[in-house]
Amino acid sequence: MDEPHRASASDLESLELPQRLSTTTGSSSTERRSWGDSSRSNGRYEEHQLFKLQLVATRKQLKHQEARAAKAEEELVQATAYLKRVNDARLVALQEAAKAKEELVLLEDVDLQRHDAQREASEAKTLARRLNRDLVVRAALEEGRRLGLQEGLERARAIALKQQDGDAEDEYYENEEAVDARSLLLQSSEDTHESSHSAPSEPPAPRWFWIALRPFTNPPHPPITPTFQFHPTAIFLRSTRTTSYIE
């Protein structure tokens, strides 16, 4: 609060000037009055002048306060506008922060889904590779069984043919031995018949002698050519295990 406006000397002179003029014009009438009336009028005049001075000071102070109030109101309007702009900027920043947070959550979800998809793809690829390896191993085992069965059948057939040929050859040689034995018997009977008239002959040769003299012939057999079909992947078959290499 500002201090009350005090009356200056110029204000007092401006107020006393009309009174001086009136006192000079009516000096004759004033002299007729008594001393008591003049003293009372002077006291009232001074009170009236003091009241006027206080009123003028109060009006000036009121104008000053009104100016200050107007200035404060203007500053308040400016501060209100500034606070409104700050609040609007704060709301915009909050909206942008909320939007950025939502986008960050979406990015995290997308990243998590991408990681899950990569993991599932890796697991599926591993499973497919394992199934392919199992299929290749199974195909190799089936091929090995088929080749083994085919080779066994070929060997059994060759052994059977060889045994059949051996039986036929044995039968042939047995027949030959029988014919030889019969011819030997006939010859020996003739020799004995002749030896009865001449010197005694040597004893006949034993059976093993004739078997040793028998030529050993083995009819040729067709070579065993097992068919082996190569798998698209590299497969190596061994005797007791199957090693597969998957590219």
Cα–Cα distance, 156 to 240 (Å, whole number): 21
Residues 205 and 177: their CA atoms lie apart, in Å, by 12
pLDDT score of 81: 93
Of the two residues 174 and 114, the one the predictor is more confident about is 114
Q: Which residue has the tokens 């939007």?
A: 99
On the question of pLDDT at 231 being above 80, the answer is: no
Judge whether 5 and 42 are in contact, CB under 8 Å: no
Percent of the chain with pLDDT over 70: 50
Alpha helices for the chain (secondary structure H): 9-25, 27-32, 35-195, 207-213
Mean pLDDT for all residues in the chain: 70
pLDDT in tens, 51-89: 888 888 899 999 999 999 999 999 999 999 999 999 999
CA distances from 141 to 130, 136, 153, 173 (A): 16, 8, 18, 46
Which residues neighbour 132 within 8 Å (Cβ) at sequence distance 6 or greater? 246
244 burial type by CB count under 10 A (0-12 exposed, 13-18 middle, 19+ buried)? buried
Dist CA 19 CA 41 (whole Å): 12
